[in-house]
Structure formats: structure tokens, C-alpha cells
């Protein structure tokens, strides 16, 4: 009896000490919740239907579009309904992107059917099936639209599969005013993300396996390559316009892991610059698959990015969201915050920022993680009188 009672007394004494002192450093909470989606092997892209409480998410392995309803106040997912897209479960639904030209409509890609779809997601009700407004067939020799984007007056797609006719890869674009007016830009193996620099109007495409970024002048259709120096890392994937300073991209690494490296394209100078995470624990080996602009929390105007580290290519790289803060010149990292995804080996895939939360799709575990990035000071999530209640307990019961 004495032996078992003794350690219990020690624990209680420590608890009493902790409760009777004011904290020196407040802990901040980062609340991550994982939501279980329909069971399948590949959960990919996600986008919000602008101005609504609906997020569309693609499951490629069975070609299902998951329509997710969010709680308007908290943005927490509350219900979903999945809809088959394409002629069968092998149609390869992949890309999801909002249209600005057709407000309320969404672009989808069917990689294995070689088609782009413009759909009305049916945001009057969760159970309303998406209706197809327009279908764009990718012309030969193009093959395999992966991610889809609407940029200005064009819809774009990276054609991820080698052409049956030429064995080459292409970036596809079609004019929105005449979708028969299409262009195939020959590129390297193989195009993933496409984004435009607002100042020069130049369009860029990451090409993962060739470790190079293609630059496209849409006026004269000329293209050129910006290769990634192997010394900094390999495999550019995520690419986005961010922080009002050029385009930013991430390097996903390879089977031996990543290098924690992301970079910036300076379109005016036609140069690439690279930044590397410093933390030896989750940073320097991170394979960075995707990224997003991280809206600064109030009172912190520093420019910041969300980087998504993934175990997709190597389990030497963790599944984590990393918030990097940059200096005003966007040249140096001044802060790194690591938020591990609860389920590891989840092969985290894409990061999507909503108004006050951040979502992450987990490819391998049919899961959607949501981060409430809210600087709640430790103790202050309790009602005020409970937080200031200095009662010291003397019993564990």
C-alpha cells in the first residue's frame, strides 16, 4: 500500500506547484483535426467554391468528387457527399479549380479520359449532384490532364502522361472565349503546377521528374527552361503566386528524402533563388510538395508561407505543415514553425487556406486535416472564472 501510494503523492505535489505559479512563457495552441473521407487509395486536390461553404475534393483512384460542407462560422467540415465523375471509376478525376470567368463554376480534370470539365457544383444543397456545363477534349498528341487552372482568359492543364503519338509531354491551354482554340506547349517530363506572374504575364510550369521550370510567353508562344541546380535539391512541384513578390515553388525531393528547399522565381530578372529550412529535426530533410500564402495573423505583418512536407516520396520526410516567416525583402527565413500531421506516412498532398483555417489533403489515408491556427493563450480557452481559479487540488480522484 505504501509503495503504491508514494509516487501518487509526488505527482500531486508537482501538480500543485504548477497550478500555483504564473506561466513564464505562454503556450500557443495549434488544433489539428483529421476528418475521415470515403475509403480509397488516392485523395488528391481540393478547392473551395468561392463565396460558399463548400469545398470540392478529388479522389483519383475511384474518380469520385467529394463535396464537403463547412460550418459557416468555424469552417469545420460537417458533412460530405461523394459523386462519381467520368464514365467509370477509372476516369481519373484529379484537378479541381474555381472559375472566375464562370462565377460559381469549377474546373475538373479527368486524367485517364483526357478531358477537362466545367461543372456547376450545385451549392444550393449538399445532395445536389454536380452538372457538367462544358467538356473540353484534350487534342492529340496531348495526354493526361493532371492539375487544371484558370488564368486570365485561358484554362490550363499540365499533361502528365507521355503522349501516345510522340512520347512527349505538353502544357495545354484553351481560350475561354473559344475552347476549340487550343495550344500545346511541348515541355519536359512532366508538368504539374502552372501559375502566372501578374506583372510580366509570363506563365510558369513546374516539371517534376526533369527538375526544371518552364517559362511560357503566351504572346509569341515561346518557351524556355529554368533548371533547378541539383546541389539545392530536386523535383519542383508546388508553384504559386504569393507575397506580392514573384512566384514561389517547392522541391519535393526523391526516395532518399528532401532538402527542405523552396524557391522564388524573379520573372523580371529571369532568375531562381532558393531558401532552405534550418531545423535539423523536420526541416533540412523535408520533401516540400506544395505551398500557399500564409495570411499573417493580426499584429504580425511579416510575409509568411505555408509549406507542406510529405512522406509521398520518402518516409525520411515527415508529414508536416511548416509556417515560414520571411524578412521584408523576401530573401531570408526569419521564423520556422513545425506542425506535424497527427497521422504520419499519410502522404500529405495539398494545402488549402480558407479564411481562418488551413486544410491539408492526405493522399494515402483518405483523410482531410484542418488546422485552426489560432493564437489561443494556454488556459484562456476556459471560461474566465475557471482560468483564474487558483484552487490547488489535493486529490487525484
Ligand X SMILES: *[C@@H]1O[C@H](CO)[C@@H](O)[C@H](O)[C@H]1NC(C)=O
Interface positions with ligand X (CB under 6 A): 61-62, 89, 178, 180-181, 200, 202, 217, 219-220, 230, 233-234, 254-256, 259, 315-316, 356, 374, 376, 385, 389, 391
Taking the least distance from each CB to ligand X, the nearer of 327 and 342 is 342
Q: Provide the minimum distance between the beta carbon of 392 and ligand X in the complex, in angstroms, as a whole number.
A: 10
Nearest CB to ligand X, comparing residues 217 and 273: 217
Count of all residues that appear for the chain in the document: 397
**Assign residue 396 a region: left if phi > 0, alpha if psi is -120 to 50, beta otherwise?**
alpha
What single-letter DSSP state applies at residue 303? -
Write out the H or E segment, with its range, that includes residue 154. Answer: strand 154-159
Question: Least distance (Å) from ligand X to the CB of residue 16?
Answer: 13
Q: Are β-strands 115-120 and 131-137 bridged in parallel, bridged antiparallel, or unpaired?
A: antiparallel
User: Whole-angstrom Cα distance, residue 196 to residue 199?
Assistant: 9
Nearest distance from residue 18's CB to ligand X, in Å? 16
CB of 74 to ligand X, least distance (A): 8
For residue 333, say if its preceding peptide bond is cis, omega within 30 degrees of 0: no
Q: Specify the 3-state DSSP secondary structure of 9.
A: helix
Q: 17 vs 217, which CB is nearer to ligand X? A: 217
CB atoms near residue 227 (< 10 Å): 13
Cβ atoms 304, 312 nearer than 8 A? no
Whether the CB-CB separation of 217 and 227 falls below 8 Å is answered with no
Nearer to ligand X, 129 or 139 (CB): 139
3-state SS class at 4: helix
Chain Cα centroid distance, residue 117: 22
Least distance to ligand X, CB of residue 27, Å: 14
Find, among 253, 363, 230, 240, the residue nearest to 294 by Cα.
Answer: 240
Of the two residues 4 and 231, which places its CB atom closer to ligand X in the complex? 231
Shortest Å, Cβ 1 to ligand X: 28
Closest CB to ligand X among residues 123, 283: 283
DSSP code at position 330: S
Question: Which residue lies nearer to ligand X by CB, 123 or 196?
Answer: 196
Q: Which is nearer to ligand X, 4 or 178 (CB)?
A: 178
Report how far Cα 122 is from the mean position of its chain's Cα atoms: 24
CB of 279 to ligand X, least distance (A): 18
In the complex, minimum distance from the CB of residue 215 to ligand X, in angstroms, rounded to a whole number: 9
Q: Is 321 helix (H, G, I), strand (E, B) or coil?
A: strand
| 125 and 115 Cβ atoms separated by less than 8 Å | no
Residue among 354, 277, 261 nearest 73 (CA): 354
Amino acid at each position: 500500500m505504501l509503495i503504491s501510494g508514494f509516487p501518487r503523492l509526488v505527482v500531486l505535489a508537482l501538480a500543485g506547484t504548477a497550478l500555483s505559479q504564473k506561466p513564464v512563457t505562454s503556450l500557443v495552441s495549434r488544433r489539428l483535426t483529421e476528418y475521415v473521407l470515403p475509403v480509397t487509395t488516392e485523395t488528391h486536390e481540393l478547392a473551395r467554391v468561392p463565396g460558399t461553404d463548400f469545398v470540392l475534393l478529388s479522389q483519383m483512384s475511384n474518380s469520385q468528387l467529394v463535396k464537403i460542407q463547412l460550418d459557416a462560422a468555424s469552417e469545420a467540415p460537417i458533412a460530405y457527399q461523394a459523386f462519381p465523375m467520368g464514365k467509370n471509376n477509372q476516369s481519373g478525376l484529379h484537378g479541381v479549380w474555381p472559375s472566375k470567368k464562370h462565377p460559381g463554376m469549377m474546373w475538373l480534370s479527368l486524367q485517364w479520359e483526357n478531358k477537362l470539365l466545367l461543372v456547376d457544383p450545385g451549392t444550393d444543397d449538399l445532395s445536389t449532384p454536380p452538372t457538367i456545363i462544358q467538356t473540353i477534349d484534350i487534342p492529340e498528341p496531348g495526354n493526361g490532364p493532371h492539375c487544371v487552372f484558370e488564368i486570365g482568359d485561358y484554362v490550363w492543364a499540365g499533361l502528365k502522361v507521355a503522349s501516345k503519338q510522340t512520347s512527349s509531354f505538353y502544357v495545354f491551354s484553351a481560350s475561354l472565349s473559344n475552347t476549340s482554340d487550343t495550344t500545346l506547349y511541348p515541355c519536359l517530363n512532366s508538368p504539374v503546377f502552372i501559375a502566372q506572374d501578374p506583372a510580366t504575364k509570363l506563365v510558369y510550369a513546374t516539371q517534376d521528374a526533369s527538375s526544371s521550370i518552364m517559362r511560357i510567353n503566351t504572346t509569341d508562344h515561346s518557351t524556355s527552361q529554368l533548371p533547378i541546380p541539383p546541389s539545392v535539391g530536386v523535383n519542383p512541384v508546388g508553384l504559386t503566386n504569393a507575397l506580392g513578390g514573384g512566384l514561389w515553388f517547392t522541391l519535393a525531393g526523391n526516395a532518399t528524402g528532401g532538402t527542405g528547399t523552396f524557391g522564388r522565381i524573379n520573372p523580371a530578372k529571369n532568375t531562381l533563388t532558393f531558401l532552405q529550412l534550418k531545423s535539423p529535426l523536420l526541416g533540412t530533410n523535408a520533401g516540400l510538395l506544395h505551398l500557399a500564402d500564409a495570411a499573417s495573423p493580426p499584429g504580425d505583418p511579416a510575409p509568411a508561407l505555408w509549406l507542406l512536407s510529405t512522406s509521398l516520396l520518402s518516409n525520411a520526410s515527415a508529414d508536416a505543415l511548416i509556417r515560414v516567416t520571411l524578412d521584408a525583402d523576401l530573401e531570408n527565413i526569419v521564423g520556422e514553425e513545425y506542425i506535424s500531421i497527427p497521422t504520419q506516412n499519410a502522404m500529405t498532398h495539398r494545402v488549402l487556406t480558407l479564411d481562418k483555417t488551413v486544410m491539408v489533403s492526405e493522399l494515402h489515408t483518405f483523410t482531410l486535416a484542418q488546422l485552426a491556427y489560432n493564437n489561443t493563450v494556454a488556459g484562456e480557452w476556459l471560461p474566465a472564472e475557471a482560468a483564474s481559479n487558483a484552487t490547488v487540488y489535493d486529490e487525484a480522484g
